[in-house]
Amino acid sequence: MKIKTVELEQVAGFKAQWPKDKLDEIAFVGRSNVGKSSFINSFLNRRKLAKTSSTPGKTRTINFYRINDKFRLVDLPGYGYAKVDKKEKEKWNELINTYLYERENLKEVFLLVDIRHEPTELDKQMYDWIIESGFMGFVIATKYDKIKKGQIQKHINAIKKKLQIEDEGLIFAYSSQTKHNKDVLEEQIQVILDN
């Protein structure tokens, strides 16, 4: 899969703003500050397409990126950010849930986790939902460049154990800096779109 054109097609704070056509969509979900925006910029070869910040909870909308006029990558708001007031948190959760449960265009959901830390209970709940909803259960382990090569398998094993993943092939270690595994992810997304 070659990414030729990318546009931020829609920033949606509620369902009525979702794009109306039938283009396939692949969504990315993960807790706040896991590196979703950095991943999207890196994966799409764009520097500042998705807004990045060292402050968690920056993405508060669903962002629809139109790729090659053929499909969309969808960036969902991060979950689990403690410093947001309860009302705001409920709004985000409702936005995420409505999209995940009701979006007919949705072909696959990738869960992003930080490779340096064991997944949280919220990550486990999200992963269980992904599996129960009939999706494959792909995981992108971000910030791969931040750990020593000799430690990688230990961290992958911790992710497998916490999320109860049997097939290690579902986990993609990724670095937004070096783009490690970008080609493998491109191939995987092409396979998803072709099915």
147 touches 115 (CB < 8 A): yes
Mean pLDDT of 136-141: 98
Give me the number of domains the chain comprises. 1
The band of 88, judged by pLDDT with boundaries at 50, 70 and 90, is low
pLDDT in tens, 143-192: 999 999 999 999 999 999 999 999 999 999 999 999 999 999 999 999 99
Token code pair at residue 142? 């971000």
Which pLDDT score is estimated for 80? 74
Residue 157 domain-assigned (yes or no): yes
Q: Mapping DSSP to helix (H, G, I), strand (E, B) and coil, where does residue 168 land?
A: helix
Q: Angle at which helices 36-43 and 182-194 pack, to 10 degrees?
A: 80
Residue 61 domain-assigned (yes or no): yes
Cα 143 from Cα 113, distance rounded (Å): 9
Q: Give the burial string for 76-100 (b: 16+ CB within 10 Å, else e).
A: bbbbbbeebeeeebebbeebbeebb
- Overall size of the chain counted in residues: 195
Residue 1 domain-assigned (yes or no): no
Which pLDDT score is estimated for 129? 92
Q: Give the burial string for 114-129 (b: 16+ CB within 10 Å, else e).
A: bbeeebeeebeebbeb
Residue 44 domain-assigned (yes or no): yes
Residue 32 domain-assigned (yes or no): yes
Residue 66 domain-assigned (yes or no): yes
Query: Looking at residue 112, which CATH number applies to its domain?
Result: 3.40.50.300
Quote the domain boundaries for residue 145.
6-194
